[in-house]
Amino acid sequence: MISAVIFAGHLYFVTYIFTKKWQDESLSTAFTNLALIIILFAVGWSITSSITKLFFDEKGLGIQFDAATISLTLLTIIEYFFYKFYYKEDTTEVEKEK
């Protein structure tokens, strides 16, 4: 269940960024950002899975919070800070226009 919430959050984020970039800039920029997010998610999940396997076994911390969910949670935390930094310029430009 936790994994489903994390995937839904990523799907919402991808949709939001895609439509925002498409409206503000261009369709090619939207697809470029979409590809960036998908690649970072795939590579990041592989890296965090490797790190998680060093510290936890497959069972993780329980039925709902297994090793895959731990790695997805770690990835989401890392992505939050990265995307907050990466897309920071978008929020400041909008605030300057007001």
- Chunked in runs of 10, what are the mean pLDDT values of the chain (98 residues)? 89 94 92 94 92 79 78 92 84 58
How many domains are there within the chain? 1
98 located within any domain: no
50 located within any domain: yes
Owning domain of residue 72: 2-89
Predicted structure pTM score:
0.77
- Angle, to 10 degrees, between the axis of helix 2-24 and the axis of helix 27-55? 150
66 located within any domain: yes
85 located within any domain: yes
96 located within any domain: no
Cα separation, 58 vs 66, whole angstroms: 6
